[in-house]
Every structure is written in C-alpha cells, then in structure tokens.
C-alpha cells in the first residue's frame, strides 16, 4: 500500500503525529514527489494551503474547526463535547466525497483528544487503501471559512478552556461519587420509548449507597422473572440476581468464578439462555448457560479483544456481536463481529470500527424490533459517561456495510427520578422493561477512602 503524503514546509503537531501513526499501521508512506506512482495521495497541509493548490485527486482530513493549521482549535476554545472528523476525497473533477467520518469525544485536554483522533484516522487511511468505501457520499453543507491567523485573544480562550477542563476532570476524579439504581416497568419497550415520562418505574436500591446498574431480565430456576444487574463491592464489579416481585429482597450473587464482571447481557440461543457479561480484563467474550446452574461454555466465543458491553443478536440468518474495545477507548468506537453460529467462528466486520460516534456507538442493552425494523439502544456519552440512551434504527447490516439512524433519545429527565443525571442501559424481556439511572454527589470522604484502600 503506497501512499504519497503532501506536507507543508512549516511542520505542525498534526503532521508530526499522523505520519508515525501511518507507519505504525504498516502503510508505505512516500514523499509527495512520488505521487504519480502512489496508490493514493494524502494532503496533510493546512486548509488554506490546500485551497491555494487544489489540483489533482487526493485525500485530506477535516478535523473540527481548524485555525491557522491547528486542527480542532475551535472546539478546544469552546465548551465543545466532541470533535467531528472526516476523511475526504477530492476527485479529479474537484468533487468532495466523505469516505469516513465520526464524532470523537473531547477528552480532558487537547493533546489526549488529538492522540485518539490520530490513531483511528491512520487506521481509516490503511483500511481505505485496502478496501475503499463503497458508500462515499458527497460533502454536505457549506465549507468552513479558512482562518489563517490566531490572535492573542484566541490563545487566551484556548488556554482558559483547557485549564477549565483539566480542573473539572481532576475534581470529578477526586471528589465525585457515582451511584446507580435500576428500575422496571411492565409497559412494552415500544410504549416506553415513545413516552418514558408517563411510565410508572419501580426502583430497586435499598439506600443511597447501594450500587445497581446494567439491568437485564431473565427467568430464575423457579420460572419467575428476575433482574440481573451489576453491583459494586470493595471497588470490584460483580453480578447479582433480584426477584422482580421483591425489590428489597435478597441480592443473590451470580457466581461465574471469573473475577470482575458487569453488563450481564442475556440472549436466547436455540431455547437456552446465555449470559455474555463484560469481562474486558480477560480480553475475551465468554458465554454462560443460565438454564439451571450457571455453567460456562468450554471456550470463549470471541478471543483477543477487550470487549466492552458485548451484545448479541440473531438477524437475517446470522449472529451479530456488537461491542466497543477498551483499547480504542470504550465510549465511541463501535466494533461488530458476525458468525453463522453463536458458537463461532466469529469474523470481524470489514469496516471495524464500524461507527465512531461518542453520541451513539457503545451498546446500551439488548436489541428489539420496532415497526418491523431492528433497533438497538446505544450510549450517548457526550460530556460524561452514561449521559443518555440513543435509540438507533438499523438501516444496513451486512458483513461489509453498516449504517444506522438515531430515532429517539432517553435522558435522565425522562425518568422523572429526582437527582438523576444520566442513564445508560435499556433492556426488555418477560413482559418487562428495565432501565438504570446515574446519580452523582461530591464527597470529601472519597479521597480519604482511596488513600486508606492503598
């Protein structure tokens, strides 16, 4: 894969980072003088230089609001929660086509944000060289005005917002305590999504300090419906089962003998109930039979990936597994795997990461059919983890293509629960719908507990 790179005489941080990232992806990077022999040309020059010399077909990146050759400067100088990134092709006729695009979260500081963008942007280039996108779309909307200069006032705004983000992140990490609670309603999932404010929700936590999240519904040994959810004890997540008829009753641990586990997703496989919890530290996805005693399958169904929130569905004759990867960053890069059998072998989707969007990539519960079309809940993590749930309608799902559209959004205010600031799991089963809610409070005891726990 030969790639000719056009650079500016005046090097900037973007050029210094993207070229090593391309080399790390095993792309054969050549100088711009060899563009005639290259498979493609990547133009890394600032926008104002590209406009002055726009001849010839090439690719270039549009990374947020660029100012004076500095990508995402506008986002860094405001309270933006994400950066929109696009890999754009300029054809021989001068038409602009979007080959890849995504919304990356703005991290606690500019350097970390750009590090995430550079890594996946280089992967985009490598994948486009290997398998060009069949669905490149014409660039919509008007192009941004090109800003050649940055004033002192602009730099002061940049510094202020960078400092504010770092301080807020540090304060949250040090003093903010997060707690979750789960609830159920006996409305249908379609009715609940259409009007969540009028649903009567039955909450489970026995006190403000009990931690319950990631609810999924299944049947117990006695045939009665139960709710599986994550709890936290001594800082380690585990899974418990609670009788739906007794919200204050016994929390029965689900012993899978594998250390930390969360997101107890359940799926029916040929009449058997499987649980596929998140165990990303094991770098595998493992399934457990829930019929009778809990029993692990002899081998992981997917190995070699730090899968976050793995969610399985059967669709159009294939089995599909949706997750994010802890190595990418858990909240914005969706990965899809498919198989002819739930036992495998599983194959990576040709476009992985199939979607990059902090507002709707990470799975948030089991799939459901609405108006005859498959839908999936996804997490909206703009601003903070677990902000809201985005309901995504699956438009295209094949081993080579994927697209979806957000058709609804459930946020904390929809739950009518005082003090709730977020929600991140929606599931259904056995005639019930389950959801969770996030709460935050500031505590001076948190740093002391962290200190003494060491």
Burial of 33-70, coded b for 16+ CB within 10 Å and e otherwise, reads eebeebebbbbbbbbebbeeeeeeebbbbbbbbbbbbb
Query: Does the pLDDT value for residue 405 go beyond 60?
Result: yes
Which contacts qualify for 320-323: CB closer than 8 Å, 24 or more apart? 320/397, 321/285, 321/346, 322/363, 322/376, 323/285, 323/363
What per-residue confidence (pLDDT) applies to 402? 93
Query: Does the pLDDT value for residue 200 go beyond 60?
Result: yes
What per-residue confidence (pLDDT) applies to 454? 60
From the list 105, 119, 117, 111, the residue with the least C-alpha distance to 158 is 111
**Mean pLDDT to the nearest integer, 182-210:** 90
Q: 331: pLDDT confidence band, cut at 50, 70 and 90?
A: very high
What per-residue confidence (pLDDT) applies to 113? 93
Least confident of 11-20, 70-79, 302-311, 419-428: 11-20
- 2-150 fold: Rossmann fold (3.40.50)
Least confident of 61-70, 111-120, 348-357: 61-70
**% of the chain with per-residue pLDDT over 90:** 55
What per-residue confidence (pLDDT) applies to 86? 93
The hierarchical CATH code for the domain 179-453 is 2.115.10.20
Which part of the chain is CATH 2.115.10.20?
A: 179-453
**Mean pLDDT to the nearest integer, 335-356:** 93
Query: Does the pLDDT value for residue 351 go beyond 70?
Result: yes
Least confident of 293-297, 338-342, 425-429, 448-452: 448-452
- Per-residue HEC secondary structure of 366-406 comes to CCEEECCEEEEEEEECCCCCCCEEEEEEEEEECCCCEEEEE
Which part of the chain is CATH 3.40.50.170?
A: 2-150
Query: Does the pLDDT value for residue 382 go beyond 70?
Result: yes
What per-residue confidence (pLDDT) applies to 453? 67
**Mean pLDDT to the nearest integer, 317-324:** 96
What per-residue confidence (pLDDT) applies to 132? 79
255 contacts: CB under 8 Å, gap ≥ 6:
294
Burial of 345 (0-12, 13-18, 19+ CB in 10 A): exposed
* Average pLDDT for the chain: 88
For 4, the 3-state DSSP assignment is strand
What per-residue confidence (pLDDT) applies to 182? 95
Say how far apart CA 172 and CA 446 lie, in whole Å. 11
Q: Is the pTM higher than 0.75? A: yes
Burial of 307-319, coded b for 16+ CB within 10 Å and e otherwise, reads bbbbbbbeeeeeb
**Mean pLDDT to the nearest integer, 396-412:** 94
What per-residue confidence (pLDDT) applies to 248? 78
What per-residue confidence (pLDDT) applies to 305? 93
Query: Does the pLDDT value for residue 54 go beyond 70?
Result: no
What per-residue confidence (pLDDT) applies to 52? 56
Query: Would you call the peptide bond into 345 cis, given omega within 30 degrees of 0 as the criterion?
Result: yes
Q: 260: pLDDT confidence band, cut at 50, 70 and 90?
A: confident
What per-residue confidence (pLDDT) applies to 45? 86
pLDDT in tens, 412-429: 999 989 999 999 999 999
What per-residue confidence (pLDDT) applies to 277? 93
């Amino acid at each position: 894969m030969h790639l000719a790179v056009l650079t500016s005489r005046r090097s900037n941080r973007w050029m210094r980072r993207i070229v090593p990232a391309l080399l790390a992806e095993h792309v054969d990077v050549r100088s711009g003088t060899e563009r005639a022999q290259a498979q493609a040309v990547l133009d890394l020059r600032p926008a104002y230089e590209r406009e002055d010399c726009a001849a010839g077909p090439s690719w270039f990146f549009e990374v947020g609001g660029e100012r004076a050759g500095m990508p995402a400067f506008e986002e860094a100088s405001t309270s933006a929660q994400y950066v929109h990134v696009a890999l754009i092709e300029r054809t021989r006729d001068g038409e602009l086509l979007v080959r890849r695009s995504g919304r990356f979260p703005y991290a606690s500081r500019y350097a970390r944000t750009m590090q995430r963008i550079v890594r996946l942007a280089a992967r985009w280039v490598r994948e486009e060289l290997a398998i060009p996108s069949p669905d490149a779309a014409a660039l919509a909307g008007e192009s941004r005005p090109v800003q050649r200069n940055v004033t002192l006032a602009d730099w002061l705004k940049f510094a202020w917002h960078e400092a504010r983000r770092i301080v807020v992140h540090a304060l949250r990490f040090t003093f903010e305590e997060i707690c979750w609670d789960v609830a159920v309603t006996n409305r249908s999932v379609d009715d609940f999504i259409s009007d969540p404010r009028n649903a009567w929700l039955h909450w489970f936590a026995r006190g403000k300090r009990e931690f319950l999240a990631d609810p999924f519904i299944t049947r117990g040994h006695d045939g009665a419906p139960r709710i599986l959810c994550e709890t936290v004890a001594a800082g380690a997540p585990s899974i418990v089962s609670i009788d739906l008829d007794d919200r204050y009753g016994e929390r029965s641990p689900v012993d899978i003998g594998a250390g930390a586990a969360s997101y107890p997703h359940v799926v029916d496989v040929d009449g058997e109930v499987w649980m596929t919890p998140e165990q990303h530290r094991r770098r595998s996805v493992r399934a457990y039979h829930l019929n009778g005693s809990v029993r692990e399958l002899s081998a992981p169904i997917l190995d070699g990936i730090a899968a976050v929130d793995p969610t399985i569905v059967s669709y159009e004759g294939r089995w599909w597994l949706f997750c994010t990867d802890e190595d990418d960053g858990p909240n914005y890069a969706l990965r899809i795997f498919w198989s002819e059998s739930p036992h495998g072998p599983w194959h990576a989707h040709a476009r992985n990461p199939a979607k990059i969007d902090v507002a709707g990539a990470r799975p948030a519960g089991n799939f459901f059919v609405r108006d005859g079309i498959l839908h999936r809940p996804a997490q909206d993590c703009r601003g903070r983890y677990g902000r809201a749930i985005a309901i995504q309608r699956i438009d295209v799902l094949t081993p080579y293509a994927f697209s979806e559209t957000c058709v609804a959004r459930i946020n904390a205010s929809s739950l009518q629960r005082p003090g709730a600031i977020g929600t991140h799991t929606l599931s259904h089963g056995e005639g019930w719908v389950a959801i969770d809610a996030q709460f935050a409070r500031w505590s001076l005891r948190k740093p002391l507990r962290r200190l003494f726990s060491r």
